[in-house]
């Protein structure tokens, strides 16, 4: 060895933070002391005993046995793209198969789109709290996430005046996560229409992250693109959440029919060529999912609702916590009444070390660290959750009263 000098990494990596996984390093340290950690940090239903529907597994297995083990075209196999196009069209957003792209999860669709839209210095409007992939990818691109407020005192609805005020000539896209991670909020139709109208008038892309659309407690959320088929809307979803197969990395994006999106679509396809294709056999599960039996969603949503009610009943009792009832998915964003000078990270790390419960601090989702927000994933069984909430409420009392 001629030198032991460490090899330099790019400065962009510094801005690329993804707290949901970064915090696992802390959990490993706690595990090394012999304490069991209860992982409530990642929104993955599989470790909590939920199962991928057998007909999707059969479709992937058949694809492999039938020899579909080579690269596919970079936009994905025809059968999957047609299924996506038919599904969107039947739900009121007319999409032709050449405007449907099969991606490695919702994540890759988001990354391809931001890559196609944002140069260094460009701005993208992102909600706070946000799903952190958006800010991480923008940091990598050297583009700027501009945060618009969603308001916990108004059921975590977006502040439309804030969105309007923040749109500038540098804005390239408006990100809307509805149903929302991390808050569990679902927006009413009037709010959705107002957001679409703002993007439409500013001639920017509305990136509709609809990965939790089928997991709304009051029935599937209507598509943004169905409300305004000619607005510049791109929708993202996947097999990860509503089809219980997050590890497969099977996702899709649907580009609205507006001609204003044609260049963006071409740019996305060009970028997609460079990564060859998303995992091939899993693409064969997309048609099976979108055309097949969806009864698992009814039982999954029933289970989620049960856990959401339990969460509100238990955390709502604590005088140290405030909590807005989620309306979809498996996340809730409580607020601990922080003593002065303490941060959300102090609370979350203290909770981890004292009880083994791993949550993610709100500042990992772009919230101010002194506001005391944190995210809980409530996928564990009701009995397990109940025990977890005993410890959480007890620790919150200890943390707040020690001030």
Q: Which residues bind ligand PLP (CB under 6 A)?
A: 43, 105-107, 131, 177, 181, 209, 211, 238, 240, 246, 251
How far is Cα 275 from Cα 73, in angstroms, rounded to an integer?
11
**Element spanning 321, H or E:** strand 321-322
Q: Within 10 A of 204 (CB to CB), how many other CB atoms are there?
A: 20
For β-strands 123-128 and 144-151, DSSP reports them as parallel
DSSP code of residue 328:
B
How far is Cα 74 from Cα 314, in angstroms, rounded to an integer?
47
Collapse the DSSP code of 255 into the 3-class scheme (helix H, G, I; strand E, B; otherwise coil) and give the result: strand
Minimum distance of ligand PLP from residue 397's CB (angstroms): 30
Minimum distance of ligand PLP from residue 156's CB (angstroms): 13
DSSP code of residue 97:
G
Compare residues 128 and 238 and give the one whose CB is closer to ligand PLP. Answer: 238
Q: Whose CA is closest to 131, among 269, 282, 236, 250?
A: 236
DSSP code of residue 94:
-
Compare residues 107 and 355 and give the one whose CB is closer to ligand PLP. Answer: 107
Minimum distance of ligand PLP from residue 4's CB (angstroms): 38
Chain center to CA of 219: 19
Residue, CB closest to ligand PLP: 105
Minimum distance of ligand PLP from residue 248's CB (angstroms): 9
Compare residues 111 and 320 and give the one whose CB is closer to ligand PLP. Answer: 111
Compare residues 121 and 247 and give the one whose CB is closer to ligand PLP. Answer: 247
Q: Which residue matches tokens 């949503």?
A: 301
Compare residues 253 and 352 and give the one whose CB is closer to ligand PLP. Answer: 253
Compare residues 198 and 211 and give the one whose CB is closer to ligand PLP. Answer: 211
Minimum distance of ligand PLP from residue 169's CB (angstroms): 28
Minimum distance of ligand PLP from residue 93's CB (angstroms): 18
CB 299, CB 45: distance < 8 Å:
no
């Amino acid at each position: 060895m001629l030198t032991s000098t460490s090899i330099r990494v790019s400065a962009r990596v510094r801005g690329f933070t993804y707290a949901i996984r970064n915090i696992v390093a802390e959990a490993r340290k706690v595990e090394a002391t012999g304490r069991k950690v209860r992982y409530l940090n990642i929104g993955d239903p599989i470790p909590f005993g939920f199962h991928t529907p057998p007909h999707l597994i059969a479709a992937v297995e058949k694809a492999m046995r039938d020899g579909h083990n080579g690269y596919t075209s970079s936009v994905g196999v025809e059968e999957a793209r047609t299924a996506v196009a038919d599904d969107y069209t039947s739900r009121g957003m007319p999409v032709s198969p050449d405007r449907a792209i099969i991606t490695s999860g919702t994540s890759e669709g988001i990354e391809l789109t931001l890559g196609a839209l944002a140069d260094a210095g460009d701005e993208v409007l992102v909600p706070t709290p946000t799903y952190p992939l958006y800010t991480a990818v923008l940091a990598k691109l050297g583009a700027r996430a501009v945060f618009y407020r969603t308001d916990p005192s108004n059921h975590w609805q977006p502040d439309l005046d804030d969105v309007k005020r923040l749109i500038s000539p540098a804005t390239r896209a408006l990100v809307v996560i509805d149903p929302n991670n991390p808050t569990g909020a679902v927006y009413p139709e009037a709010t959705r229409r107002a957001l679409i109208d703002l993007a439409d008038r500013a001639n920017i892309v509305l990136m509709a992250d609809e990965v939790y659309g089928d997991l709304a407690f009051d029935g599937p959320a209507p598509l943004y693109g169905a409300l305004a088929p000619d607005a510049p809307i791109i929708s993202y979803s996947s097999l990860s959440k509503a089809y219980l197969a997050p590890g497969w990395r099977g996702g899709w994006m649907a580009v609205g029919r507006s001609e204003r999106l044609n260049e963006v679509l071409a740019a996305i396809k060009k970028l997609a060529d460079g990564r060859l294709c998303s995992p091939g056999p899993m693409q064969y599960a997309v048609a099976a999912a979108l055309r097949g039996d969806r009864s698992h969603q009814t039982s999954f949503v029933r289970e989620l609702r049960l856990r959401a009610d339990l969460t509100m009943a238990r955390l709502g009792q604590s005088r140290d916590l405030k909590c807005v009832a989620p309306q979809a998915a498996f996340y809730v964003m409580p607020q601990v009444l922080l003593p002065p000078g303490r941060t959300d990270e102090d609370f979350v790390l203290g909770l981890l070390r004292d009880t083994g419960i791993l949550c993610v601090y709100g500042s990992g989702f772009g919230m101010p660290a002194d506001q005391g927000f944190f995210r809980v994933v409530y996928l564990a069984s009701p009995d397990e959750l109940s025990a977890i909430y005993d410890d959480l409420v007890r620790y919150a009392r200890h943390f707040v009263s020690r001030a």
